[in-house]
């Protein structure tokens, strides 16, 4: 490109830089919500092996909400048990403990492993389907310039971010295979285990624009361009934290071994030769994280990774695993890393350019958190940007991205720091060995870490999207007192003790009133961009309770209710609020037609909606009827709960607390009273 040539210019609502899991998650939201979006990546193809591989429970819940958890679940290795191996007094490693990999009862999914390339495949297929092929990753495209026009950032109709993009030539877009920035080639750019449905991506896309440049004006830019993020550096933001002394090697191999727990997740501390983690994978693969005690950093604190080879890593593994033998014929991928724990100082610029994923937090990969937390960043951000871009939500909600996610990043860094130290340390010989790591302490950290690593204990604090729970010990409100006239929406946690405000909407099984089919209720909280009002209608057969439900529905359906005055938009997000009902009467004693119409809306083309009213009752083939108990809701009186588009609980109140519910939505949605 020469600057004298004509450079094409265009507008787009959202520009995503980087098509790894974080960028693809952002694009996925835009596809589901119907937002005009481009996503660019400087690499010439998607990746096909190696990289991240662990998927938390919460990631699977999110994938399910997007529509592809089943594909991951089917292809992945399921992680069931963790075995801990420690040296005995004779220095020989032995299994000392077994614990479940996923805490029992915490989620309907368990942690799984599957390489990042497959996850990206599922995202790409999902984006194609929901965007009707309008959002495609543009590969071999490099951002070169970014500028925010601060005079326009408060104008919702403007495109204040200008980005210059360059379409790379083939040679530019096909990088020498780099591993964590070193120049080591792993010689395995294309995995032998590649799936047939990935093959199309080997064919390079149209080259017609190769070597040319263009100017894009965007309402929002999301930088998901990795640990050395161009976007972050261009904004002048930094990562803060510390480096590490520990150097680790990674091998993805089909192991030939007599080690009995090779298909379990194992944490192995040897007496003198460092530690090793076993992560069983799909397709007979096993990933080994191996501490390289014989590779030492130089004076600058960095090791010369060009000297590290698969043989060096394998030999380190052999010493740690001795007296068991390990070898391989097939290696799918390998790398070595030395990573500190660092977190970004700022997650956005003017709430117009956002950073996510490795661009704002780096840490060791061993806990299998990186890809998950990165995807969760943009799962948190994407719907907010989409709803603001569509004029449905207030721009002020965008500040909750940093307030909600930066703390999570900090928690992750702290966790990784602690965990890495314990894992990399030499096992204590006895209680007096202060320089060694106590294996009991390690196990405790592991168990606690498992809870953290599930991704399910994330709790977003109060904001415009999460109501402040009232202090019920002070008795400000009883269940029957009308709500006070505060300008903020207060929430009554006691009405749904199993649905902590600020945490993800837990899942219990319910039964469809109309066709008796059991569902995990979370399956009904799809990522459509909609807020949900969940009406726990209680015992609808009790006339006084039925009256309460009818009164709530009348308020909800009144002309000036937020439900009627929220901004409508075009499909697929034609209604920003969906109402779902779970009642607790007997299914066979009730009838969909007995419920107020607003709970199962009538459409003149397709009749009544049969997919909105559910019951907490027994069913024929599955264990149902425990939802009210699990959610901690009174089976007679019920309550009302708001789930955000990302399934987090935003508000809990009584059927009489309509004013507070109205305030909640006044706080986050654009409402316009109807004429």
Which residues are at the interface with a copy of itself (CB under 8 A)?
70, 74, 77-78, 80-81, 98, 100, 102, 104, 110, 129, 196, 254-258, 260, 262-264, 280, 284, 329-330, 512, 514-517, 588, 591-593, 604-607, 610, 619-621
- Smallest separation, CB 129 to a copy of itself (Å): 7
Least distance between a copy of itself and beta carbon 280 (Å): 6
* Least Cβ distance, residue 266 to a copy of itself (angstroms): 11
* Distance in angstroms (rounded) separating the CA atoms of residues 313 and 306: 13
What's the CA gap between 497 and 499, in Å, rounded?
A: 5
* Beta carbon nearer to a copy of itself, 226 or 255: 255
Give the nearest distance from C-beta 391 to a copy of itself in angstroms: 29
Closer CB to a copy of itself, 280 or 653, in the complex: 280
Q: Cβ neighbours of residue 489 under 8 Å, at least 6 residues apart?
A: 467, 651, 660, 661, 662, 663, 664, 667
Minimum CB distance to a copy of itself smaller for 571 or for 620: 620
Smallest separation (angstroms) from a copy of itself to the CB of 300: 40
Please report, for residues 389, 458, 544, the alpha-carbon distance to residue 449 in angstroms, rounded to integers and kept in the order given. 37, 13, 47
Q: Let me know if 517 is exposed, middle or buried by CB neighbors in 10 A (0-12, 13-18, 19+).
A: middle
Of 55 and 387, nearer to a copy of itself (C-beta) is: 55
Task: State in angstroms the smallest separation of the CB of 282 from a copy of itself.
Answer: 12
Strand partners, 341: 242
The rounded distance, in Å, linking the Cα atoms of 241 and 235 is 19
Name residue, tokens 């309509």.
Answer: 658
Q: What per-residue string of b and e applies to 522-544 under the rule 16 or more CB within 10 Å gives b?
A: bbbbbbbbbbbbbbbbbbbeeee
On the question of a cis peptide bond just before residue 53, with omega within 30 degrees of 0, the verdict is: no
Minimum Å gap between C-beta 247 and a copy of itself is 28
**Cβ closest to a copy of itself, residue 189 vs residue 330:** 330
Strands 9-17 and 37-41: parallel
Closer Cβ to a copy of itself, 73 or 158, answer by number: 73
Q: What is the 3-state secondary structure (H, E, C) of 358-426?
A: HHCEECCCCCCCHHHHHHHHHHHHHHHHHHHHCCCECHHHHHHHHHHHHHHHHHHHHHHHHHHHHHHCC
Give the residue with the Cβ less far from a copy of itself, 593 or 675: 593
- Minimum CB separation of residue 287 from a copy of itself in Å reads 14
CB of 581: closest distance to a copy of itself in angstroms? 16
Question: How does DSSP classify residue 109?
Answer: S
What sections of 250-364 are H helices per DSSP? Answer: 310-321
- Shortest Å distance, C-beta 181 to a copy of itself: 32
Cα 72 from chain centroid (whole Å)? 14
Whether residue 340 contacts residue 243, with contact meaning beta carbons closer than 8 Å, is answered with yes
With CA atoms as reference, report the closest residue to 73 among 60, 84, 82. 60
Do 15 and 369 touch, CB atoms closer than 8 A? no
**Minimum Å distance from CB 482 to a copy of itself?**
36
Q: Are 11 and 218 in contact (CB under 8 A)?
A: yes
**Catalytic positions, please?**
53, 281, 289, 365
Between the alpha carbon of residue 648 and those of residues 211, 295, 377, 382, 531, the distances in Å are 44, 45, 14, 14, 10
CA distance 194 to 200: 11
Q: Nearest distance from residue 330's CB to a copy of itself, in Å?
A: 7
Rounded to whole angstroms, the Cα distance separating 391 from 567 reads 7
Cβ proximity to a copy of itself: between 469 and 592 the closer is 592
User: In the complex with a copy of itself, which residue's Cβ is closer, 83 or 184?
Assistant: 83
C-alpha dihedral, 370 to 375 to 380 to 382, nearest 10°: 140
The residue among 75 and 414 lying less far from a copy of itself, judged by its C-beta, is 75
In the bound complex, what is the minimum distance in angstroms from residue 395's beta carbon to a copy of itself? Answer: 35
Residue among 356, 329, 365 at smallest CA distance from 179: 365
Closer to a copy of itself by CB, 206 or 603: give it. Answer: 603
Q: Of the two residues 280 and 650, which places its CB atom closer to a copy of itself in the complex?
A: 280
Beta carbon nearer to a copy of itself, 98 or 444: 98
End-to-end CA gap in the chain: 54
Q: How far apart are CA 189 and CA 479, in angstroms?
A: 62
Beta bridge partners of 427: 437
What distance in Å separates the CA atoms of residue 202 and residue 188, rounded to the nearest whole number?
14
Angstrom distances, CA of residue 72 to CA of 55, 76, 119, 553, 566: 9, 6, 7, 39, 36
Q: Are 477 and 489 in contact (CB under 8 A)?
A: no
Is residue 491 within 8 Å of residue 462, measured between CB atoms? no
What are the CA-CA distances from residue 44 to residues 28, 52, 146, 247 (Å)?
Answer: 20, 19, 22, 30
């Amino acid at each position: 490109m020469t600057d004298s040539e004509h450079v094409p210019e265009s507008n787009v609502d959202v520009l995503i830089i980087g098509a790894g899991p974080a960028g693809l998650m952002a694009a996925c939201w835009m596809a589901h919500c119907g937002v005009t979006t481009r996503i660019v990546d400087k690499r010439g193809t998607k990746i096909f092996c190696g990289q991240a591989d662990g998927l938390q429970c919460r990631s699977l819940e999110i994938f399910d909400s997007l529509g592809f958890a089943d594909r991951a679940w089917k292809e992945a290795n399921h992680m069931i048990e963790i075995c801990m191996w420690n040296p005995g007094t004779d220095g020989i490693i032995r299994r000392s403990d077994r614990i479940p990999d996923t805490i029992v009862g915490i989620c309907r999914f368990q942690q799984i492993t599957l390489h990042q390339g497959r996850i990206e495949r599922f995202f790409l297929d999902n984006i194609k389907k929901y965007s009707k092929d309008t959002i495609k990753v543009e590969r071999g495209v490099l951002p070169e310039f970014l500028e925010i026009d601060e005079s326009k950032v408060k104008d919702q109709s403007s495109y204040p971010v200008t980005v210059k993009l360059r379409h790379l030539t083939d040679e530019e877009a096909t990088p020498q295979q780099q591993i964590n920035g070193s120049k080591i080639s792993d010689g395995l750019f294309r995995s032998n285990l590649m799936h047939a449905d990935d093959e199309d991506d080997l064919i390079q896309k149209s080259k017609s624009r190769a070597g040319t440049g263009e100017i894009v004006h965007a309402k929002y830019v999301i930088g998901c361009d990795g640990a050395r993020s161009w976007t972050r550096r261009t904004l002048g933001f930094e990562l803060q934290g510390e480096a590490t002394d520990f150097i680790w090697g990674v091998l993805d191999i089909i192991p030939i071994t007599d080690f009995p727990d090779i298909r379990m997740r194992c944490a192995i501390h040897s007496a003198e030769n460092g530690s090793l983690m076993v992560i069983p994978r799909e397709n007979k693969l096993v990933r080994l994280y191996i501490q390289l005690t014989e590779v030492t950093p130089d004076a600058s604190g960095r090791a010369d990774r060009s000297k590290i080879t698969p043989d060096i890593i394998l030999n380190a593994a052999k010493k740690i695993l001795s007296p068991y033998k390990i070898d391989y014929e097939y290696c799918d991928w390998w790398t070595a890393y030395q990573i500190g724990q660092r977190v970004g100082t700022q997650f956005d610029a003017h709430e117009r350019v956002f950073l996510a994923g490795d661009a704002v937090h780096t840490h060791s990969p061993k806990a299998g958190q990186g890809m998950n937390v990165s995807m969760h960043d943009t799962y948190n951000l994407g719907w907010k940007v989409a709803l603001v871009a569509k004029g449905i939500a207030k721009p002020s909600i965008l500040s909750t991205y940093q307030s909600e996610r930066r703390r999570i990043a900090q928690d992750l860094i702290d966790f990784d720091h602690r965990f890495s130290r314990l894992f990399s340390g030499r096992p204590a010989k006895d209680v007096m060995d202060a320089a060694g790591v106590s294996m009991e302490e390690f196990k405790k950290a592991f168990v606690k870490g498992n809870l953290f690593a599930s991704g399910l204990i994330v709790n977003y604090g109060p904001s415009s999207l999460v109501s402040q729970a009232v202090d019920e010990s002070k008795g400000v409100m009883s269940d029957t007192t009308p709500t006070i006239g505060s300008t903020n929406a207060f929430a009554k946690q006691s009405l749904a003790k199993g649905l902590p405000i600020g945490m993800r909407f837990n899942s219990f099984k319910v039964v469809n009133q109309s066709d008796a089919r059991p569902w995990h209720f979370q399956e009904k909280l799809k990522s459509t961009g909609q807020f949900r009002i969940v009406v726990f209608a209680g015992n609808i057969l009790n006339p006084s309770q039925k009256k309460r439900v009818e009164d709530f529905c009348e308020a909800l359906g009144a002309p000036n209710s937020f439900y009627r005055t929220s901004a409508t938009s075009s499909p697929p997000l034609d209604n920003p609020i969906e109402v779902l009902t779970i009642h607790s009467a007997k299914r066979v004693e009730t009838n969909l037609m007995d419920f107020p119409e607003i709970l199962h809306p009538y459409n003149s083309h397709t009749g009544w909606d049969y997919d909105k009213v559910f019951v907490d009752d027994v069913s024929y083939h599955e264990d149902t009827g425990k939802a009210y108990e699990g959610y901690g809701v009174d089976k007679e009186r019920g309550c009302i709960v708001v789930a955000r588009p990302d399934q987090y609980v935003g508000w809990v109140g009584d059927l009489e607390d309509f004013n507070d519910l109205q305030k909640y939505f006044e706080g986050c949605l654009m409402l316009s009273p109807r004429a």
